[in-house]
Amino acid sequence: MPKIAIVGAGSFVFARRLVTDILTWPSLQDSTIALMDIDETKLETMAALTQRMVGQTQTGATVEATTDLRAALDGADYVTVSIRVGQGREHIEIPQKYGIDQAIGDTTGPGGVFYFIRNAPAMINIARTMEEVCPGAWMLNYTNPMVMLCWAIEQMSSIRYVGLCHSVQGTAMALADYIGAPFNEVSYWVAGINHMAWFLKFLWNGQDAYPLLWEAMKAPEIYERDIVKWEIMKHFGMLPGRYVIGLGILEEILEEEKFAQENRITLQKFEEQAKELEKTSMDYISIKEAIEKLEDEGIEKKYLEIKSLTDRKPELEKEQKKANLEKENLIKALGDVEKELIRLNTELNKFVNPEKEL
């Protein structure tokens, strides 16, 4: 069975969806899923969730979790990468100081370049580690900026890789929803590069659906769901992919933050329960130690008493001999006294009854 390494498993949205896809695909259900992240707390949460998903789907997948990149990649057949180096927003805040306001800044403009500079060294390290421990594996990259990173990997590594993103199909699903079309009945032709794509054609059952999109835009509830996208369509006559405007990703960020918050709350409850158990355990240990101490003190007291008697044995034996000698002398003295009493009694009888003497 294949081994699938998920690097950046702490990215709950991506990792959770990837695991779901793996466990629902028959040929992958017995895979080894190696979760890797440098954040141990998020990694533990995702590992527990994955184990639960494996149990619920009753598949034969094996779950591994590690903070060691080399161990996760060793022998892998596929490596998915969804990472974000650092948690700062400098790639957005620095350009903003100079009048360039980017909502996300992970693909284009100065923010995209800064984001590339931050993520590229980590991505190259992953690729070169793959060359050593799983040279035949495919890298499936979800990390941004996709185009620049794929370009860097192609220039600096020999691994097989592909950059993946759901921005196009995500947009297509939204557009189908706007015109009330079942998604399996729409088709589209999109041109551009990742996060910078345009819907040149959007068809419903083979018919141009752009007139329906222009009509749908007039509905306030639909217009307000994608204001910037609709305004771009007014100016350019066609719709961009979600990330051209940098707003579509907000849904996923909010979803990830919500998921992370829910798991943080769950983890906090586990930690509180663990503390209670630890406190109970410590109370038990304290009581046990107190009992053992008392037992030890009691045993020690008895030992000291016995030792004291043992140490005094020669002295006590000497005193016993002395007492025995004094007893013998006393008995002898009593015998002498008794003899003297008999003699005195005899003398007294002679004095009282002199006739008996005659």
pLDDT per position as a tens digit, 152-175: 999 999 999 999 988 898 899 999
Structure tokens at 291: 């009992």
User: 87 or 115: whose pLDDT is higher?
Assistant: 115
Q: Are the beta carbons of 36 and 9 closer than 8 angstroms? A: yes
Which single residue is written with the structure tokens 């969804």?
82
Predicted confidence at residue 358, as pLDDT, reads 46
Averaged over 276-287, what is the pLDDT?
A: 58
Percent of the chain with pLDDT over 90: 49
Predicted confidence at residue 268, as pLDDT, reads 65
Predicted confidence at residue 6, as pLDDT, reads 97
Distance CA 57, CA 52 (A): 9
Distance CA 56, CA 101 (A): 45
Predicted confidence at residue 132, as pLDDT, reads 97
Q: Write the pLDDT tens digit of every residue in 296-315.
A: 666 666 656 666 666 766 77
Q: Are the beta carbons of 110 and 94 closer than 8 angstroms? A: yes
Annotated domain spans of the chain: 3-165, 169-247, 315-356
Averaged over 189-205, what is the pLDDT?
A: 92
Looking at 5-164, list the stretches that DSSP marks H as alpha helix, in order from N- to C-terminal side.
12-24, 40-57, 69-73, 90-97, 109-133, 146-156
**Of 8, 271, 284, residue with least CA distance to 123:** 8
Averaged over 275-294, what is the pLDDT?
A: 59
Distance CA 331, CA 337 (A): 10
Predicted confidence at residue 325, as pLDDT, reads 79
Contacts of 199-203 with CB under 8 Å at 24 or more apart are 199/171, 199/172, 199/175, 199/238, 199/239, 199/240, 199/241, 200/238, 202/172, 202/175, 202/239
User: 256 or 325: whose pLDDT is higher?
Assistant: 325
Q: Where are the beta strands (DSSP E) in the chain?
A: 3-7, 32-36, 62-66, 78-81, 138-141, 160-163, 186-193, 196-204, 207-208, 239-240
User: 310 or 82: whose pLDDT is higher?
Assistant: 82
**Mean pLDDT comparison of 128-137, 228-237, 242-251, 332-341, highest-scoring range:** 128-137
Domain 3-165, CATH:
3.40.50.720
Model confidence at 270: pLDDT above 60: no
User: 128 or 289: whose pLDDT is higher?
Assistant: 128
Distance CA 267, CA 11 (A): 16
**Of 44, 38, 45, residue with least CA distance to 8:** 38
Structure tokens at 152: 């860097």
Model confidence at 252: pLDDT above 60: no
User: 331 or 3: whose pLDDT is higher?
Assistant: 3
43 phi and psi, to 5 degrees? -65, -45
Averaged over 318-324, what is the pLDDT?
A: 78
Half-sphere exposure of 292 (CA within 13 A, CB side): 6
| 166 among known catalytic residues | yes
Q: Active site residue: 91, 166, 195, 235, which one? A: 166
Distance CA 157, CA 159 (A): 6
Predicted confidence at residue 161, as pLDDT, reads 95
Contacts of 48-57 with CB under 8 Å at 24 or more apart are 49/16, 49/19, 49/263, 50/19, 53/19, 53/20, 53/23, 54/23, 57/23, 57/24, 57/29
